[in-house]
Amino acid sequence: MPGILTLAAVNDPELRAAYTHCRRNVRRRDPVEYAIMQLMPPVLRPACWAMWAAFTTADDIVDAVGDTPADRAARLDAWTTALETELAAGHSADPVRHALIDTMRRWRLDVADLQPSFDTFKGDAHGRRLETWREWSAWVGDTNLSWASQGMTLLARAGVPVPVWLRRKDAYQRYLDGLYLTDALTDLSQDLARGDISLPAEILDRFPEATDHLREQRWSPAVNDLVTHLTGQARRWLNQPGLTDALHPGTAEILRTVTRLFHARLDAVQAAGPALLSHPAVPAPPIRWRILAPARARTALAWRLTPLSPPSPGSGPAIPVPRQVRSALAVQPPPPHPSGARPPAIPADRMPQHVAVIMDGNGRWATERGLPRHEGHRIGANAMRDVVYGAAEIGLSHLSLFLFSTENWKRDTQEITHIFDALRDQLRSELATHDALGIRLRWAGRTDGLPEDVIEELLQAEAATRHHTGLTVIFCFNYGGRAELTQAAARLARAATSGDLHPDHVREDDLAGHLLLPDTPDVDLLWRTGGERRISNFLLWQSAYAELHFTDAYWPDVDRRDLWNAINDYARRERRYGAAPAPLPSPDGPTRQGSKQ
């Protein structure tokens, strides 16, 4: 039987040596994770070794005992900068980077995708204190999700179907938290030896006695209570219902096996007692073997039934441009308005951060001209493009556009199909412009009911522009404000049921943190065209204090100058967020007050 490297078409002797170095590295340091990688399709295993070796290299630099935080950060910086530079050359003298570069090129992965993880490692090098579980979970995500997503992309590129929901961050974040918490418990002794406890202050403050004892590396009933609490929490997070639904049988088996192995790790943690403070808690080999042997047989069968092939090196599209090079490319100004109009100068403290637009009146515009409604959407798409240019030109930070609501499914199928077509056209034709103008595109909305290719196009546009730092344009597509709030409430209820959140302690921030794009600022200005004066289920939570602006023109007749007028109008308004107005001087004695809100 040919070796794995031969199966994966790795023929160059130097490359084979680099991948072999990575493989040994994994097997020596973590036999369980090595065994999990052996469940992957053979053509992907070398890529997994390379990525794992790169991840642990970064992790080791951060954890290096004896170095100052500045030294660690500088070493990590040197390592990632070398990676970006060498990527273009396709070669590195460092075996881990050499294998990683080959993996990135062979499978058309983008090194910029790993940047969030490297940035988080850099932050770790300086030391960090995490206050709450929410901060801890964000940190876990920032460190690991980029690598997990690369794993998904690898599977997809090899021909294993990966459902869209699995590639959306929220679906597996909790599961990842469960894996990471299990790791933190398993390796507690190593963290303590470095004087570190990788748990948030929130939980340590609830178990103060245990925390003191842990810092002294002393086992006690209090420590036992904390460990019992945390293993229970990790088990609940690992038991995510429906995690393997609709997955390819091979991928589903890997996920189920990982879950079983991590439960076995938690059993070992609970059984370890005082030994947990001096050695990593690992399940005994026969336990691992009982889990892994059948998994090996099942995955081997699953992959045999799926024709998978390695891409030939260099067969894919151009090698991704490293991030540092890309960010050095100058962001261009948008094409000017044909009239030569320029944006008004708005003082920075009077500029809205986030403008949301209900682009109404497409249908009426078309009907009044004897045209089919979809012609209104087609011309409306041009108006939208001009407004996006105007938003970039005036220096707006966030622009939300209501493109298709959860209520729009009530429309004629033909009209819906045309809106989907307009979306595809818009996404494809504007990709180069988004790059040139540094526009980041994001999608807020549900996947239900949308054709797979529309979902795919939206996700790809998000992924392609994720590092752009100019205007953020949010496509609210298949979006409904009540649906968004209902989903956020369901997530809170889940957190309460699993014990992560106490119902008496729910704050506004907890709900806001479960909205579709929780890192987006509130809407300052909500503008609706087409003469109607409603907000129609748009960004209900985010618009709580938005200034409202209504104009009569139908959307296809609108251009960037109308956006600038709306912003000008906003800049003159007084926003009070429920506070009393400043007293107005009155000629005849008592001061006058404005309205209440």
Q: Which is nearer to ligand FPP, 400 or 426 (CB)?
A: 426
How far from the centroid of its chain's Cα atoms is residue 56's Cα?
22
DSSP per-residue codes, 318-355:
SPPPPHHHHHHSPPPPPPPPTT--------GGGS-SEE
Nearer to ligand FPP (CB atom), residue 386 or residue 524: 386
Beta-carbon-side half-sphere exposure of residue 122 (alpha carbons within 13 Å): 15
Contacts of residue 129, Cβ cutoff 8 Å, sequence gap at least 6: 201
**Which residues of this protein are in contact with ligand FPP, per CB under 6 A?**
359-364, 377, 380-381, 384, 403, 408, 419, 422-423, 426, 530, 555
Residue type present at position 323: R
Q: Tell whether residue 151 is among the known ligand binding residues.
A: no
| Torsion angle of the four alpha carbons 577, 578, 580, 586, in this order, in degrees rounded to the nearest 10 | 70
Between 268 and 366, CB nearer to ligand FPP:
366
Annotated ligand binding at 405? The verdict is: yes
For 258-276, b/e burial (b = at least 16 CB within 10 A) is: bbbbbbbbbbbbbebeeeb
Based on CB atoms, which residue is closest to ligand FPP, 280 or 363?
A: 363
**Residue 581 has what DSSP assignment?**
P
Q: Please state the closest distance from residue 397 (CB atom) to ligand FPP, in A.
A: 21
How far, rounded to the nearest angstrom, does the alpha carbon of residue 527 sit from its chain's CA centroid? 28
Closer residue to ligand FPP in complex, CB, 51/396: 396
Give min distance, CB of 342 to ligand FPP, in A.
25
Assess contact for 257 and 291: CB atoms under 8 A.
yes
Q: Residues 110, 360, 559, 562: which is the catalytic one? A: 360
H helical segments located in 131-248: 133-158, 169-186, 188-193, 201-206, 208-215, 221-238
The reply to whether 408 belongs to the active site is yes
CB of 486 vs ligand FPP, minimal distance in Å: 21
Least distance in angstroms from the C-beta of 360 to ligand FPP: 5
Residue 572 among known ligand-binding residues: no
Dihedral sign of CA atoms 537, 539, 541, 544 in order: negative
Q: By beta-carbon distance, which residue lies closest to ligand FPP? A: 363
Q: How far is the CB of 449 from ligand FPP (least distance, A)?
A: 15
Q: Report whether 388 contacts 342 (CB < 8 A).
A: no
The verdict on whether residue 80 carries a ligand-binding annotation is no
The answer to whether 551 and 383 have CB atoms below 8 angstroms apart is: no
The response to whether 378 counts as a known ligand-binding position is: no
Helix (H), strand (E), coil (C) string for 66-121: CCCHHHHHHHHHHHHHHHHHHHHHCCCCCHHHHHHHHHHHHCCCCHHHHHHHHHHH
Q: Is 508 annotated as a binding residue?
A: no
Residue among 273 and 531 whose Cβ is closer to ligand FPP:
531
360 is catalytic: yes
Q: Of 224, 239, 408, 565, which residue is the catalytic one?
A: 408
Taking alpha carbons only, the member of 232, 237, 240 closest to residue 266 is: 232
How far apart are CB 589 and ligand FPP at their closest, in Å? Answer: 50
Query: 121 or 475: whose CB is closer to ligand FPP?
Result: 475
Place of tokens 């302690």: 505
| Minimum CB distance to ligand FPP, residue 464 (Å) | 17
Task: Tell me whether residue 406 is annotated as binding.
Answer: yes
Flag whether 174 is marked binding.
no
- Residues noted as catalytic: 360, 408
Residues that constitute the known binding site: 360-365, 373, 377, 405-407, 409, 411, 528, 534-536, 547
Residues that constitute the known binding site for substrate: 361-365, 373, 377, 405-407, 409, 411, 528, 534-536
Residues that constitute the known binding site for Mg(2+): 360, 547
